[in-house]
Amino acid sequence: MAGAPARRRSGDPAVPPVGPALPKGDLRALSIFAALYTELQVTRAAQKLGVTQSAVSHSLKALRQRFDDPLFERGAAQLRPTRLARTLAPHILPAVQAAEAVFEHCPGSLEAPRSRMLSIGMTPGSRAALLPGLCRALATGKHQAPMRIASIRSDADALEAVDRRSLDLAVGDFGAAVPSRLRQTLLYQDAFVTLAWLGNKRLPARTLPLDAFLDLPHLRVADDDDGTGDAVDELLAARGLRRRVEVIAPSFLQAPELLVGTSLLVTMPSSVARARTDLAEQLRFFKPPLALRKVEVVAVTHARSATDPLMQAAWQALLRLGREVAAASRGPGQHKVRAAHP
C-alpha cells in the first residue's frame, strides 16, 4: 500500500526513524560523518575532505542535534564512535562511497578539489627501492595528492604512529612486531649483498671471507645513527667481533657511489644495489660472509583505511612495485662477481 512504512526484517540493525527530507547541507554532513568515522580525528577528516576544521566541527554539531546523540566522543588519542554511530556507519559509508563514484564520471570542475597530505613512513632500504616508483604512480594517477615521507628510526614508534593515525602507511622490515589490529601485506623479500669499488686492490680474488670483511673499512647506512649499529653489527657482536665503520651515510642509493676510489665496503639490500646500473661497471658484488636473513618489506596501515580511495591507490601502487622488485631479484641479469684489476 502506498505510504505504508517498510517492515524491518529480523536481525536488521535498529536505526532512528527517518525524519523530513534531508536538506542539501546534510548530504555534505554525511560525507563528514564518513571521514570522521574512518579518520577518528577532526584534523585528519578536514584534510581528507579539503575543508576547514571549523566546517567539520559545524557539521558534526548539526548531526548531533539531528540524531540527538554525540556520535563521536573524545578519547585519549582519537575520537570514539558511539553505539549509534557504529550502527549508522554501515548505512552511511556505502552511500557516501556510491555518491563519490558517481561524481568521478563528471567532467573536471573549474576548481580542483584540495587533496589531503598522505603521510608515509619508510625505512632507508624501502625508500630507496620503492619511493621513486611510488612518486610516479601517485603523481600520474587519478588520486593525485601531496605526500610527506618520514624516516622510520624505530619500528615500535612507526607502528604506534600508524595505530594513532599520524602515519597513513609504514613501509619497512618490521618482523613479527606488527599488532594484529593493523593491516599488513608482504611486498617483497630481499637478500643482502656486499659492494666494493672494482679498483680496490685489497679485495680478494673471488669470495669475501670474514677476515677480509673485518680487515676492510665499512660504510654504514643510517638516517640518525645512535651507535647501536645494524643487522651486520648485531651478528658480529653475537660472535664477539666488530667491524670498522669509517663512514655513516643516510642514503642506500647514494652509498654505492661513495665507494668509488676508496677501500670501503657497504652491505645493503640487493634490490637497491641493482638500481644503480650506472655504477655496475665500477663495483664488485660479494655474498656477505654472514648469515644475514632476508629483508621482508611489508606495508602496514590501519584497518579503517580500507575505505579511503587515496590509501587504496597508494596500497595498490606499493603492491605492484613490490612485485617488480621481487621479479627483478628472480630474473636474469644478476650482477656477477668481478675479478679485481691486475
pLDDT per position as a tens digit, 188-241: 998 999 999 999 999 998 899 999 999 999 999 987 666 667 889 999 999 999
Cα(210)–Cα(193) distance, rounded to whole angstroms? 14
pTM for this model (two decimals): 0.60
**208-212 LR contacts (CB < 8 Å, sep 24+):** 208/286, 208/287, 208/288, 208/289, 209/289, 210/289, 210/290
Cα(314)–Cα(171) distance, rounded to whole angstroms? 11
Indicate if the pLDDT at residue 132 is higher than 70: yes
**What domains are there in the chain, each with its CATH number?**
24-103 (1.10.10.10), 118-185+301-330 (3.40.190.10), 192-286 (3.40.190.10)
Lowest mean pLDDT among 111-115, 146-150, 164-168, 294-298: 111-115
The answer to whether the beta carbons of residues 297 and 126 sit under 8 Å apart is: yes
> If you average pLDDT over every residue of the chain, what do you get?
80
pLDDT per position as a tens digit, 236-262: 999 999 999 999 998 888 999 999 999
pLDDT tier at 336 (50, 70, 90 boundaries)?
Answer: very low
